[in-house]
Amino acid sequence: MHPDRQIRFLPLIGLLLFTAIAIGQGTKIIPPKNGYKPSDDVQLGREAAAEVSKQLPLLPENGDADNYVERVGATLAAAIPPEFQHSEFRYDFSVVNASDINAFALPGGPMFVNRGMIEAAHNEGEMAGVMAHELSHVALRHGTAQATKSQGLGVQLGAIGGAILGAVIGGNAGEAVAQGTQLGLGTYLLKFSREYETQADLLGAQIMARAGYDPMDLARMFETIEKQGGSGGPEWLSSHPNPGNREQRISQEAAKLQIVNGGGRGQSAEFARIQSSLKRMPPAKAMSEIEKPRNTNADYPDDSRIQTNVEQPSNHYRMFEARGLFRISVPDNWKQFGDNAAVTFAPLGAYGNQQGESVFTHGAIVGVGQVSTNDLQNASDQYISGLLQSNGYLRPEGRYQGKRLGGRDALRRRLSGTSKVTNRKEIVDVYTTMLNDRQLFYVIQVVPGNAQAQYARAFDEMVQSLTFLK
Ligand SMILES: [Zn+2]
């Protein structure tokens, strides 16, 4: 099965999108319904940004180009109308040393502008136009709104993060990305809807005007990107499709706006200086030429490999303690891997990276997931539906059974199916109990059907030994 990361589920929420005219202030924009908290946007964006920074070549932080883009970005972010400011969000800006005319922003604020975009723009106003458009998607929280709309019940936080990454990096391998693709989120997030595009154009124009740029530079940049064509231009436009009459709409909006300082900021001399220094650098590679790590999931060592024969669980146990949260005993011949959300215990040969996904065949995962309810049964349903989505071959076998886990009420549900890794029947027992504040604690035990008897004692020992420390 594919080990799961931290998971969050949301109730299905319909999407309502209105725009209306408010005289003098530009078009009033109503952000789409969103089942996530702004802090979720921040978390998703931060995780994705950490991956991006590892995978893409960035121009040096605090170098001339980086400082310059940071200053333009900060000016734009400060001009976001107060109703769309989120105190949790942190807007920061990096320059990717790639030739494609592209840029992207992640939920909660991190933005990446390609060197190719800066080189293609005719002036600071055009560059700021793209950035204001991207900032608008972030401020209106379109990434998580899209996820709310497309998935409803059963959305996985990790999968969304992965899908955003997949979208920006171009379908990289890795567990989270693979899950995202499997859930169909990748395609949703690759392309903003026309409604969202219209909103980002309108808010982008408003931000431009408030920051002292000519909103028409936003429209002109779309034209510049279209004209440049080549490898990168269409890429950005395919993520931000023209909702129809784009330029006309931006110009109608511009006519309604009071433009601070007449929009003179867009003609800065500094832009020309930065642009020519970028053009003097050795040519940047295209995104497609930038080498991508084979696997973005660092859970398992690179050399780990699934083997047909796996050592049986030792009769000796060792105590594992997690961050003052719980203690559990596990066979002393099981390795452990993990991150903040979950720990995997498995014998050598029972875990590995296959076709860019981390899989494991024998062992257990112990972790905590965020759910949208404090009701154990509902929370367990949510969690298990996520497991079933990311492990399509599994089916529930029978009903929940009442159990105890660390002195708390718990449920156990058995899932089974034919593993694609071993081509054998796999049995997955999922124990769940509530911590507090919609935190679901789980123990997942995985074993091939034919090894079930040899693992019974070890699995039992884990469940019996589990102690919560607070
Ligand atoms: Zn857009």
Question: Per residue, what are the HEC states of 138-205?
Answer: HHCCHHHHHHHHHHCCCCCHHHHHHHHHHHHHCCCCCHHHHHHHHHCHHHHHHCCCHHHHHHHHHHHH
Residue with tokens 């769309």: 84
* Cα–ligand 1 centroid distance for 190 (angstroms): 10
Q: Is the dihedral of CA 398, 449, 451, 432 positive or negative?
A: negative
- Sheet strands (E) in 84-133: 92-96, 103-105, 110-114
Helices assigned H by DSSP within 289-419: 376-390
- Cα dihedral sign for 125, 127, 128, 132? positive
pLDDT at 184: 28
Distance, CA of 160 to CA of 154 (rounded, Å): 11
CA–centroid distance, residue 236 to ligand 1 (Å): 9
Give the Å distance between the CA of 203 and the centre of ligand 1. Answer: 11
CA–centroid distance, residue 147 to ligand 1 (Å): 16
pLDDT, mean over the chain: 81
Residue 40 Cα to ligand 1 midpoint, Å, equals 21
Question: Residue 221, SS3?
Answer: helix
92 φ, ψ to 5°? -140, 160
**Cα–Cα distance, 72 to 264 (Å, whole number):** 14
Instruction: Determine the distance separating the centroid of ligand 1 and the alpha carbon of 282, expressed in angstroms.
Output: 30
Give distance in angstroms: CA of 219 to centre of ligand 1: 12
Distance 162 CA to ligand 1 centre (A): 19
Ligand 1 centroid to Cα of residue 89, in Å, is 19
Query: How far, in Å, is the centroid of ligand 1 from the Cα of 47?
Result: 21
Give the three-state DSSP class for 459: helix
Dist. CA 328–CA 138, nearest whole Å: 41
The two structure tokens encoding residue 284: 């940047």
124 CA → ligand 1 middle, Å: 19
**Ligand 1 centroid to residue 150 C-alpha, Å:** 17
Report how far ligand 1's centroid is from the alpha carbon of 245 (Å).
14
Q: 109 CA distance to ligand 1 centroid (A)? A: 15
SS3 of residue 64 by DSSP: helix
Q: Work out the number of other CB atoms within 10 angstroms of the CB of residue 279.
A: 11
Q: How far is the CA of 57 from the centre of ligand 1 (A)?
A: 24
User: The tokens 């367990």 sit on which residue?
Assistant: 380
Q: Which pLDDT value is given to residue 302?
A: 62
- 131 C-alpha to center of ligand 1: Å? 10
CA distance 29 to 104: 22
Å from CA of 285 to ligand 1 middle: 24
Nearest Cα to 40, choosing from 183, 141, 134? 141
Helix (H) or strand (E) holding 319: strand 317-322
How far away, in angstroms, is 204 Cα from ligand 1 center? Answer: 10
Contact 373, 448 (CB under 8 A): no
Going from the Cα of 234 to the center of ligand 1, the distance in angstroms, rounded, reads 13
Beta strands at 110-114 and 92-96: parallel, antiparallel or unpaired:
parallel
d(CA 247, CA 451) in angstroms, rounded, equals 65
Which residues place a Cβ less than 5 A from the ion ligand 1? 192, 197, 200, 240
Going from the Cα of 201 to the center of ligand 1, the distance in angstroms, rounded, reads 7
Residue that has been written with the tokens 């929280």 in this structure = 141
- pLDDT, residue 176, reads 31
pLDDT < 50 regions, the chain: 4-23, 152-159, 162-163, 165-190, 231-233, 293-298
CA–CA distance, 242 with 248 (Å, rounded to integer): 11
SS3 367: strand
The alpha carbon of 134 and the centre of ligand 1 are apart by a number of angstroms equal to 6
Question: How far is the centre of ligand 1, averaged over its atoms, from the C-alpha of 240 (Å)?
Answer: 4
CA end-to-end distance (rounded Å), the chain: 31
Give the chain's length. 470
**How far apart are the C-alpha atoms of 365 and 359, rounded to whole Å?**
12
Which two tokens mark 444?
A: 């997942």
420 with 393: CB under 8 angstroms? yes
92 exposure class (CB count in 10 Å sphere: 0-12, 13-18, 19+):
middle
Reported as type and span, the H/E element at residue 468 is strand 467-468
Other Cβ atoms closer than 10 A to 43: 20
**447 Cα: distance to centroid of ligand 1 (angstroms):** 46
